[in-house]
Amino acid sequence: MKMLIGGEWADSSSGEACEVRNPANGKLLDTVPLGSTEDVKRAIDSARGALGKWSSMTARERGKILFKGAQIVRERQMDLAITLTMEQGKPLKEARDEIQGFANILEYYTGVSAAIHDSLVPVAPGRYGAVMKRPIGICGAIIPWNVPAIIMGWKVGPALLTGNALVLKPATATPLTNLSLAAILCEAGLPAGTLNVVTGQGSTVGEEIVRNPAIRKISFTGSIDTGKHVMKVAAESMKRLTLELGGSDPMIVCDDADMKKAVEGAVSGRFYNCGQTCTAVKRLYVFESIADTYIKMLKASIEGLKVGNGMDEGVNMGPMNSAGQRDKIIRQVDTVREKGEGKIIVGGGVPPGERYVGGHFYMPTLVTDVSEDSVLLREEVFGPVLPVVVVKDLDEAISRANASKFGLGSSIWTKSLERASIASSRLESGITWVNQHVKLPPEMPFGGVKESGIGRENGFETLDAYYELKSVMINL
């Protein structure tokens, strides 16, 4: 595929390309242009050209185009899901859910378009103040490789609805789904140049998007280290920022929890997308009195997961997205083994067998007796490894859950409303689920506290992050 600048497919100015490979077998899927700073500047020029027309349309008119885009996405969901599975690795069903999730987000923002309006404030008899919502201008969106369609929806939906133009950079590993979705939005009637997709590396394309003063806001999803770097560079031109930087979500299983549901929730919450989800269950705290039974049930369920190519029928967990990501997991589990930081009771390595050769597979892994200073509790574990810690009560669970630099999601599993409300108010996270984990509908704000990020995506509130408020005083 090529990149998308000014509504046209484009090559990079250097003529160079980069490969996109299937993580399940290492086979070449396609190539995309290796973009440069020049290409970002071209995209900015075309966004600037599109901005006047796009921002002068009403939110309702813009919403209709997003809705048309969502309809086309639904019609082509199977083809898009196949592309997503082939470049990202997740099982086809998960990919299809994700593509539908992208359409859901666009439909949600279409639905709220009629609620966007300026307001008039009477300040004295015959005198009014108008509070106008103005688009920020050209925004930059930087997308990771783990959930590329949903995360694109979180950025594109509110940014476009509010009249901004966008320069979007997909992750190097997963540009194909993002390009296909952007092309569909153009087909749905988005004026040329409103949404530009520049493929290429973070160190060149991403860096220029963050540095270039013509871009007035950045919405970034990725690692904490890159997020901090983005914040520093963006400060030079005082850009607005939304940063979603991952987490280490705690899940608390109380002694009155429905054990079967709490096992299913932990397994889907941890091993969905091969553990590569920012709000995956990454630390599990279970009450002492039920720990033996619960861990036995958890072990049996994890042992039943079928690992394989996401395109194959019946596969529950695909490969990791890249060799580099798998190396990080190998290092973390090896550290546990070498330092005696826990007992690996399921998995703990690369699966043996011919069908896994060439892919970045890792076995679903369960670790118990995890020590407080273990790497699995200190670092983000972005892969299929679940550490379990036994606690005596809710107080201990909450204080251990909060002893982390992360603060994205958390969950409590209990039948007690009192415990649920204590946990919801005391857990230091942007989201707390009760008897569920991971899924969040488009109307709910998504984002973290502490080092998990700044700002929110999803939900009506996110629209505020794409406006500048302008006060106009009227004296007639």
Residues recognised as catalytic: 155, 244, 278, 457
Q: Which of 146, 365, 410, 458 binds ligand NDP (CB under 6 A)?
A: 146
Give the total of residues touching ligand NDP (CB under 6 A). Answer: 28
64 part of the interface to ligand NDP, by CB under 6 A: no
Residue 448 near ligand NDP by CB under 6 A: no
Which is nearer to ligand NDP, 285 or 382 (by Cβ)?
Answer: 382
Q: Are 430 and 446 in contact (CB under 8 A)?
A: yes
d(C-alpha 198, C-alpha 182), whole Å: 11
b/e map 13-28, b = 16+ CB within 10 Å = eeeebbebbbbbbeee
Exactly one of 91, 137, 246, 459 binds ligand NDP (CB under 6 A); which one? Answer: 246
**230 closest CA partner among 272, 202, 269:** 202
Q: Nearest approach, Cβ of 241 to ligand NDP (angstroms)?
A: 12
Please tell me whether residue 172 binds ligand NDP under the rule CB under 6 A: yes
Return d(Cα 256, Cα 290) in angstroms, integer. 9
Residue 475, strand partner residues: 127
User: CB of residue 221 vs ligand NDP: minimum separation in angstroms?
Assistant: 5
CB 168 within 8 A of CB 139: no
Asked if 140 contacts 195 with a C-beta cutoff of 8 angstroms, the reply is: no
Which residue, 278 or 377, is less far from ligand NDP as judged by CB?
A: 278
Q: Rule CB under 6 A: is residue 211 a binding residue for ligand NDP?
A: no
User: Pairing relation of β-strands 215-221 and 240-244?
Assistant: parallel
Is-contact 341 374, C-beta < 8 A? yes
24 DSSP 8-state letter: T
8 Å CB contact between 229 and 150: no
Minimum Å gap between C-beta 433 and ligand NDP is 17
- Check residue 203 for interaction with ligand NDP (CB under 6 A): yes
Contact 188, 160 (CB under 8 A): no
User: Closest Cα to residue 250, out of 415, 437, 440?
Assistant: 437
Least separation in angstroms between CB 139 and ligand NDP: 14
Binding mask 316-345 for ligand NDP (x = CB under 6 A): ---------x--x-----------------
Q: Closest separation between CB of residue 209 and ligand NDP, Å? A: 7
Q: Is 171 in the site for ligand NDP (CB under 6 A)?
A: yes
Taking the complex as a whole, the smallest distance from the CB of residue 31 to ligand NDP amounts, in Å, to: 15
What is the SS3 assignment for 307? strand
CB of 470 to ligand NDP, least distance (A): 29
Of 380 and 428, the one with the shorter C-beta distance to ligand NDP is 380
106, exposed or middle or buried, with CB in 10 Å at 0-12, 13-18, 19+? buried
- Is residue 31 involved in binding ligand NDP (CB under 6 A)? no
33 belongs to the binding site for ligand NDP (CB under 6 A): no
Q: Please identify which residue in 230, 253, 263, 315 interacts with ligand NDP, judged by CB under 6 A.
A: 230
Nearest to 295 by CA among 361, 368, 382, 189: 368
Mutual angle of helices 148-161 and 92-111, in 10-degree steps:
10
Q: Residues 246, 178, 102, CA angle at the centre, nearest 5°?
A: 70
Q: Is 229 in the site for ligand NDP (CB under 6 A)?
A: yes
Choose the binding region for ligand NDP from 59-67, 113-121, 224-232, 392-400 (rule: CB under 6 A): 224-232
Site residues for ligand NDP per CB under 6 A: 142-146, 169, 171-172, 201-203, 206-207, 210, 221-223, 226, 229-230, 244-246, 278, 325, 328, 380, 382
